[in-house]
Structure 1
Amino acid sequence: MLDVKMIRQEPDEFKRRLGTRGVQPEEIDNLLAEDKKRRELLNRTEELKRQRNDVSGQIAQAKRNKEDASAAIAKMREVGQEIKKLDEQANEAVELVNDMAARLPNLPNETIPVGPDESANVELRKVGTPREFDFEPKAHWDIGEDLDILDFERGAKVSGARFVYYKGMGAKLERALYNFMLDEHEKEGYTEMITPYIVNDASMFGTGQFPKFKEDVYQLQGQHMTMIPTAEVPLTNYYRDEVIPTEDLPVYVTALSPSFRSEAGSAGRDTRGLIRMHQFNKVEMVKYTKPENSYEELEKMTANAGNIMEKLGLPYHVITLSTGDMGFSAAMTHDLEVWMPAQNTYREISSCSNTEDFQARRAHIQYRDDNGKLHFVHTLNGSGLAVGRTVAAILENYQNEDGSVTIPEVLRPYLHGATKITK
């Protein structure tokens, strides 16, 4: 969450930078107007509390002198009632200001491209060369169904659209992938965790999903509990309301988890295949760092995701997202997009973001410097990788003309030496 005090000090700067993310100037003006009312109410309340203390002293003095204190007592009661009324108004004002501030996205880093949407994204680098096929490559959903390792029809029957059954070698391939990913991340210094898959509202607020994006998730009816959209939520909230010992920073954690997303607003997009599912597995990376190291750590995290791609032999490119395409909590995001032959294009498979202190402010995650002063940490998160999309990429990039799929060499030890998936 953004610091309202800083917005108050530099309103034009916040209007300029948040304007690149679609925030209208009047949103800042309205926030500052409500913040002014809040501060006036708090000042008035403090003034009345001082008056009450003075009157209390007068009453005590009158009683000691055995004088009539009824007028002072009546005045104190009147002041007390006014304080109670103003306290209620101030609490409402505080809640309103906090809610308005919580709906503002993070400030974008000054170096990222400015633009309204993905058309303004900038490619940083290409890695690997897309394969030249001497036959017409098939889409991964057709390959999976032909090999009888993916069953979308029964997934839809049992749960609805955007659900799937993995079968046989399909299930084994998915399992091999996430075990491989976790093993690689362990080599890079990440501590593996198994997290809760259901979290409370405070956790969803901490990472920025609430209050603005409730429609994008699955909530348990009648409870303030949500099925996680990504392991970023429980991993980042692990240290919520805590002070991390300075000597422990940076902290690297990783986890495999299912991710549950309602995909609100995605009607008609990626209706076939594994790209946009309501339930999918993902290996997530999260870092807690000191502010001065966070952008170096972002580049490392992006390289950690790229390492998986390179060892799997999947062509990809890295792009920096524009202000209009970036996620709500991010200050800078690098996306890794894998080459999908059947679509003849790159598709997102990992998103690595530095949120700076945006999430740490919401979740109250701090550390002490060498002088004992408290600071907010910077938090980073990235997919390492989205497992279903990686399955899709392997099926398309490693397909053979006879309908079989060659298994990438690094996965063969996880599949008891199998080299191909055949019908």
Structure 2
Amino acid sequence: MDIAILGAGCSGASLAYFLADAGFLGRIHLFDRRTDFSQEQRWCSWGPVPKRLSGLVSASWDRWRIVSGNAEVVCSLPERPYLHVHAPEFYERMHDRLRRHPNVRLHLGCSVESVTPTGLRGEIRRVAADFGDYDVDLVFDGRPSAENMEATRGSGEISLLQSFAGLVVESSEAAFDPDTVTLMDFGAGDSPELSFVYVLPFSAHRALVESTAFSGDGIAYDEHERRVENYLKKLGAGAYTVESRESGCIPMTTRKLPRMSDERHIMIGAAGGATRPSSGYAFVHILRQSETLAGSLMRGEHTWRRPIPRKYGLLDAVFLDALEDSPAHARESFLRMFGRVPTGALVRFLSGDSSLCDDLAVVAALDKTPFVAAAARRVKASMLGAEERR
């Protein structure tokens, strides 16, 4: 069996790696129109990551905090630390391993124009690329597309954008706590959208300081950078040098993304629904999906599971609805969750591997009024959507 993987980003590279590492006997064609993967800077999530990739973790923290005005919640869970993976190093090491594997063909700087059925019974997929045509048995597609990834409204769906921009700085003053990640500092909470500052401290003098906002249209880069500069002044960072800048925009939507174009053309990664709608976290979900797919192929199975369990769909939809309706309540909800839910239960919930007891603990900690109203709107939207599909 030969396969093609479209996109050599996190999902495509990790799937190719897991297959090659497991001794997959067929050819693996990995395509990407890019040759430079330095634009992505980092991925963060709670552990663990698969043991075979643990060497790619470049930093970890046992403590994290949420701040809103004068209120602060600090959590700790040493057995599941918050992990940082430097994306350029991930790509360099992954692509280098794949180049040296005899079964892998790495086609960088090569665009794929089309994927079409061929063969006597249409059981083969022909991948038409810049460097020629390739006939394979299965296609795994991790390319983001306008159709799949745009944040659209319709049929009662919720669509927000998580826009962010950050600076990696070296400060003259010891402004950062190197042992504690600031997941969210809402400040005075006076902006109309839900916005906060996120801090990854690499030392007392060096950190990523990032402005993030959840809104319908996103926030301009200049405004994000202004907020970062003001936050550094608030911390008393003193003079600082900027090592690098990064920015991006992640769709947060209840819209269901297609899991496959057909039974032999499967969507993976963010394009296949591996981004958690309520948080934007994707890294661990992508790795789990890649490892699961590789295991299925090695067993000769063609069963493609959801990258994020179905139960989180309703929970995330209710949260996004409440977030869109009342950003002020959302700030309070984050404080309540991190302050009242046992840390292990909350981390499992945010990581997508929670039990029913964990889920109930999270629900019990939330302010019922906005979330009951949001749940009612979600049920109504679901019923209207069902009527439209008839």
Q: Tell me, yes or no, whether TM beats 0.5.
A: no
TM bucket (normalised to shorter chain) is under 0.3
Larger radius of gyration: 1
* Higher helix residue share: 1
The structure with more strand, counted as a fraction of residues: 2
User: TM-score by structure 1 length?
Assistant: 0.23
Q: TM-score, normalised by structure 2?
A: 0.24
